[in-house]
Structure 1
């Protein structure tokens, strides 16, 4: 299976806000960014299209599906959502008590924000999704519209990386990351294209 992961486009939200699973809308640049992603994908043929149900991903998936001729074939999957930041959702990062944030930041793989989830939990649901689509779409090319955290988690899984330090990897809005699952050793073909 070939897997192309697309991060959603830029958002209509002030900089410095923790939004995670909050259903934030796309920015005014959406149509320009959609056209950019369509351009990047124009040479590819896809057998299936999955998306996070959050509107910032679903809107992009709809636009891509229309352009790729898959208009009625989008499958939303809650496992593709971003990290749930719990009580920190929609707060300014600077308003989160520094001592609580620092404790979480040192071990976000195993610690969660209050009422949120750990990065290990996010990765576990992502790997569960990945294993399911590998079985369902062997030998096919699958397009997935999701979030930066999920893309990082799947990269870590494919590369057998520890989750600690994963936020050093920047995933651009409207960027593509491609993975291939042929044979026993998965490969990452590119990141942030």
Structure 2
């Protein structure tokens, strides 16, 4: 199986705002960004097509025109709970520092930990690997992609914030038991 993980395009949100589960639209440059993503996936005929149910992913999935995507909650971004849509610098420094040093196990107030995100994303990956032989496209978020990269590369989860992922970027995981290969699609 080949799993193409597509990060949504640039969301319409001010820089410095904490967002994850928040429902955000896409920015004004969406059509140009969507065209660039289509170019990265040109010639691909996926056997399955999934999307996070969040608006910024659904809009890109529709623009990719691979047919009707199946929405899957496991592809949602991490839930930041009470911190959603708050400026990062408005969140008490002590709370941010505590969470930052323990984000794998500890959730923001009312949210989820990175481990929670990792478990649901890994379950999605395992199900795809069991169900599909051909290419699969999933439009999702940076947190999900980072967690699946950690899974594929067998890395400790605390290292995943260091993975830079562009808006509209495509990461390809190739499953060939017992190995997983990783590639960044940049055509």
TM range, smaller chain: over 0.9
1:81 aligns with 2:100: no
Task: Encode CA deviations 1:76-134: one digit per residue, 9 max, x unaligned.
Answer: 00010000000000000000000000000011000110010000000000011111111
Runs (4+) of structure 1 exceeding 4 A deviation are: none
Instruction: Give the Cα separation in 2 of the matches to 1:5 and 1:16.
Output: 25
Q: Check whether the contact 1:18–1:91 (CA below 8 A) recurs between aligned residues.
A: yes
Instruction: Give the Cα separation in 2 of the matches to 1:192 and 1:124.
Output: 28
1:140 aligns with 2:134: yes
Report the Cα offset of residue 192 of structure 1: 6.8
> Which residue of structure 2 aligns with residue 11 of structure 1?
11
| Corresponding residue to 1:152 among 129, 146, 149 | 146
Report the Cα offset of residue 191 of structure 1: 6.3
Q: How many residue pairs are counted as aligned between the two chains?
A: 187
Task: Encode CA deviations 1:115-168: one digit per residue, 9 max, x unaligned.
Answer: 10000000000011111111110x210000000010000000111111113111
Q: Identify the range of structure 1 (18-27 vs 182-191) with the bigger mean alpha-carbon deviation.
A: 182-191
Q: Check whether the contact 2:10–2:27 (CA below 8 A) recurs between aligned residues.
A: yes
> Which residue of structure 2 aligns with residue 54 of structure 1?
54
Map 1:156-175 to 2 at 5 A. 156-175=150-169
Calculate the aligned-residue CA RMSD, in Å: 1.2
| C-alpha distance 116-192 of structure 1, shift in aligned 2 (>3 A) | farther
| Corresponding residue to 2:89 among 94, 119, 134 | 94
Report the Cα offset of residue 187 of structure 1: 1.1
> Which residue of structure 2 aligns with residue 21 of structure 1?
21
